[in-house]
Amino acid sequence: MGLLDKWKMRELRARAKRRLGASTGNRTLAAEGRTEEAEARLLQTEDQIKQTAREIRAKYARS
């Protein structure tokens, strides 16, 4: 399982938590789910930026 897959699973888990909180009326659980979902998306974006930077460095590196 790659790192991006880990973040996807984390986002899915947070989304389920948010939906469970919303359906049961538990505002605290829903808020935690939203926070964790945003954090997972942020981590995915960070990983994508790092990957792009590595690709650019490899492409334009001086030999």
pLDDT tens by residue, 2-39? 766 777 888 899 999 999 999 999 999 999 999 999 99
- Return the pLDDT at 63: 56
Euclidean distance between CA atoms 15 and 12, whole angstroms: 5
pTM comes to 0.75
Query: Is 1 buried (19+), middle (13-18) or exposed (0-12) by CB count in 10 A?
Result: exposed
Look at the alpha carbons of 49, 55, 60, 63 in this order and tell me if their dihedral is positive or negative: positive
Give the residue from 25, 41, 45, 21 showing the smallest Cα distance to 33.
21
Residues whose CB is less than 8 angstroms from the CB of residue 39 and which lie 6 or more positions away in sequence, other chains included? 10, 14
